[in-house]
Amino acid sequence: MTVSLLVSTYNWPRALYLCLDSVMQQTVLPDEILIADDGSGMATRDVVKHFERISPVPVRHIWHEDRGFRVATIRNKAIAASTCDYIIQIDGDQILHRQFIQDHRLFAREGYYIAGSRGMISRELTRQVLSGAITSLSALTKGVRCSNNVMRIPVMSFFYRILSPEYNPRSCNMALWRKDAIRVNGYDEAFEGWGFEDTELGLRLKNIGIKQRRIKFRGILFHLYHEKASRDRCEQNERYYLESIREHRTRCELGIDQYLPEQEFAHYGIPRELPPIMTPNSIRYRTN
């Protein structure tokens, strides 16, 4: 199994630097790192170039023009650009426990996607982390909230996985097989702005028979404090989500197939239900 780490980011280069630095310290590295960049400026590109130079695995920068909050679209482009079997998704304002990738690899199973959680850290602790005054985090660090989400207790993770109820997935700590993402046509790009694009993806995965596996007490990460994104589109996005529930959708209309050649679907034995919409200039990436 080969693994891509997909890191979503937008115009917070210092946070992205710390995130990628925590990736470099992993006990097990991913096979490639995909920076899904929703239109950031040159400062973010400079951070990516730095890690392109020093990373022992390929770092690929997938970027599109800044036309508002289009994280569903940029994630689709990154998944389409991936060369690996399995996609672990995080956000670029998170710091990973050293065994984050190792834990996710352990939990991967055919027929399942993984839903995880994260610990939140306070405004003041975030300031100290960004300044370099604090260089390590744990559940006991003052300013860490939701500390039960950042306790790594492997034996507890086994029991929690068996006994926990299903959970609305968050793309800031989520993993799925690339072929399953293609089967449901990836994220629905009708979702713009904050909210529900990840929950709706989990719904369509469930509707094609992909079950959820909860990862807790493993797969630990810490979320840096920031002001909330605008919720202007949240009500509209919720309506889209409720429509998906009512219609028992297994596939979205505006999705990843825009960025994939026909042979990708043939390779996985997936019928292409929608006509191809090829836009080769809409995806831009660089490799080492």
Q: How many CB atoms lie within 10 A of CB 271?
A: 7
Count each helix (H run) and each strand (E run) in the chain, helices first.
Answer: 10, 11
Confidence at residue 227, expressed as pLDDT on a 0 to 100 scale: 82
Q: Are 252 and 188 in contact (CB under 8 A)?
A: yes
Confidence at residue 264, expressed as pLDDT on a 0 to 100 scale: 76
Most confident of 78-87, 220-229, 265-274: 78-87
Stated as kind and residue range, the H or E segment containing 119 is: strand 119-121
What's the whole-number mean pLDDT along residues 65-90?
Answer: 96
What's the whole-number mean pLDDT along residues 135-160?
Answer: 88
Closest CA to 187 of 121, 112, 125, 244: 244
What's the whole-number mean pLDDT along residues 214-228?
Answer: 91
- C-alpha–C-alpha distance, residues 280 and 261, integer Å: 10
Residue 184 DSSP symbol: T
Confidence at residue 278, expressed as pLDDT on a 0 to 100 scale: 36
Most confident of 12-26, 211-225, 261-275: 12-26
Predicted TM-score (pTM) of the model is: 0.90
Residue 284 DSSP symbol: B
Whole-number percent of the chain with pLDDT over 90: 71
- C-alpha–C-alpha distance, residues 74 and 253, integer Å: 16
| Identity of the amino acid at 278 | M
Confidence at residue 288, expressed as pLDDT on a 0 to 100 scale: 35
- C-alpha–C-alpha distance, residues 154 and 256, integer Å: 35
Residue 111 DSSP symbol: T
Closest CA to 188 of 266, 228, 245: 245
What are the CA-CA distances from residue 91 to residues 34, 37, 127, 254, 267 (Å)?
11, 10, 18, 23, 29
Confidence at residue 272, expressed as pLDDT on a 0 to 100 scale: 65
Quick: pLDDT tens for 164-181.
777 778 889 999 999 999
pLDDT at 224 over 70: yes
Output the six-digit token pair for 177: 């097989």
Q: Class of the 3-282 domain?
A: alpha beta
What's the whole-number mean pLDDT along residues 122-148?
Answer: 92
Give domain limits for the chain. Answer: 3-282
Confidence at residue 281, expressed as pLDDT on a 0 to 100 scale: 38
pLDDT at 187 over 70: yes
Confidence at residue 122, expressed as pLDDT on a 0 to 100 scale: 95
Confidence at residue 121, expressed as pLDDT on a 0 to 100 scale: 93
pLDDT band at 34 (very low <50, low <70, confident <90, very high): very high
pLDDT band at 273 (very low <50, low <70, confident <90, very high): low
What's the whole-number mean pLDDT along residues 219-225?
Answer: 95
